[in-house]
Structure 1
Amino acid sequence: MNSQELLKRYAVGERDFSDDSTIFGDDDLVGVDLSGANLSGINFDVADMSRINLSGANLSRASLSEICLEEANLSGANLRHAYLFQSDMPSTNLSSADLAGACLSCVTAAGVNLHNANLRGADLLSIGLGGADLRGADLSSATLEGANLTNANLTGAILDGTNIDKVTFKNTIMPDGSIRNNNV
């Protein structure tokens, strides 16, 4: 199944695509609405998904590596154990999304909204989170080693057991509201 068939099936009311071993490499899904769809385990590698609406979608165990999710809406989406290695996610809305155990290594996510997101145990190795909204996010046991948190807001975030080795803090608002301006 290609992206056009997926969109056609979605348009007639189908929402469960979890049993399809779909591969969408190099497909264009810019600005489409797949909100609420069950895309668990699907492969969207190397797709352009800028401005896509995946709010409330189930993308658990999905492969989303090297894709463009610029200005996408994934609010409330289930991305548990999803693989987003080297994806481009500037200004993406992931508020209240469940990213527990997800791999977001080497992701570019400047200005991303992760307000109240669940990132427990997530791999955020070398992620670029400049200007990110991480207020109230649960980063317990996550790996943030080598991450850039310049101008990020972590007010109320949970960092219990989080690996913050070699993290860049510059004008970063920490969970207690203090400003941090040093590398660890």
Structure 2
Amino acid sequence: MSKISEITIEELLELYAAGKRDFTRYTIKHTDQYFENGIDLRGVKFRGDSLEAIFFSLENSNLSGADLRGINFRKANLDCCNLSGALLNKASLWCAGLNRANLSGANLSGASLSGTTFVTANLKGANLSKTKLYETSFNCADLSGVNFSNAKIHRPIYFDKANLTQVDFTKVTLDIAWDEISFKEAYFENTIMPDGSIRNS
């Protein structure tokens, strides 16, 4: 197995600008640098913990279509990021902020979403099957067409004012009562509930 190469964020951006997209065997040196308008890493491929050192540089960034499977995004600031169509299967998003982010069509199957906030995020058509949900907030989010099948809910989660049109909650595993989940002013339309029944507002 080839060794892991350590590069700075500036070197990462230079390599990306030159056409490189696969950074599977790279790790980024820690930086406190902040990019007010985010950075463009569309279609990039990272695996494992490669982005750990630049978590706070990613707000407003474009990571659409990126391959981020299994990546560690603990406490990451991903607010307003474009992650549409991204692969985030089995990623760790513990206490990450994805408020106002675009995750339409993203695949988060098996991801850990404990303490994650998706306030006002766009998750239209995203795959959240088999995710681990623990005090996760989807308040005011567009969840239309989201697949939550086989997700595991360990603590109350929040769907206040969320759009739950055609959401699939089948086979969700709960260790709390369903009525402990907050759905204040949520919009239901052809929403498939855990017992297979259809709920409409």
**Which position in structure 1 is the counterpart of 2:60?**
51
Aligned residues: 179
- Letter of the 2:9 partner, please give it: S
Shift of 1:177: 5.8
Q: TM-score, normalised by structure 1?
A: 0.90
Alignment partner of 1:124: what SS? Answer: strand
**Which position in structure 2 is the counterpart of 1:159?**
169
Match of 2:141 among 132, 135, 139: 132
Partners of 2:80 and 2:150 in 1: CA distance: 27
Q: TM-score, normalised by structure 2?
A: 0.82
The alpha-carbon distance between structure 1 residues 102 and 39, as it changes in their structure 2 partners (threshold 3 A), is: same
Match of 1:35 among 34, 37, 42: 42
Shift of 1:128: 1.1
Deviates more, 1:6-15 or 1:25-34: 25-34
Maintained 8 Å contact 1:115/1:137: yes
Maintained 8 Å contact 2:9/2:31: no
Shift of 1:29: 5.0
Higher share of residues assigned strand: 2
Deviates more, 1:104-113 or 1:162-171: 162-171
Q: What whole-Å deviation, never above 9, does each CA across 1:5-57 have from its counterpart, x for those lacking one?
A: 11111011000001124454645355111000111224333423111000000
RMSD of equivalent CA atoms? 1.7
Shift of 1:73: 0.1
Where structure 1 has 5 or more consecutive residues not aligned to the other structure, the ranges are 180-184
**Which position in structure 1 is the counterpart of 2:200?**
178
Higher share of residues assigned helix: 2
Q: Which runs of 4+ in 1 moved over 6 A?
A: none
**Which position in structure 1 is the counterpart of 2:114?**
105
- Letter of the 1:162 partner, please give it: V
Partners of 1:93 and 1:14 in 2: CA distance: 24
Maintained 8 Å contact 1:33/1:52: yes
Maintained 8 Å contact 2:80/2:99: yes
- Letter of the 1:151 partner, please give it: K
Match of 2:69 among 60, 72, 78: 60
Larger-gyration structure (1/2): 2
Shift of 1:102: 0.5
Deviates more, 1:44-53 or 1:10-19: 44-53
- Letter of the 2:185 partner, please give it: N
The answer to whether 1:13 aligns with 2:25 is no
**Which position in structure 2 is the counterpart of 1:143?**
152
Partners of 1:127 and 1:48 in 2: CA distance: 23
Deviates more, 1:103-112 or 1:44-53: 44-53
Partners of 2:57 and 2:152 in 1: CA distance: 27
Shift of 1:89: 1.2
The alpha-carbon distance between structure 1 residues 123 and 24, as it changes in their structure 2 partners (threshold 3 A), is: farther
Maintained 8 Å contact 1:44/1:65: no
Residue identity over aligned pairs, in percent, reads 32
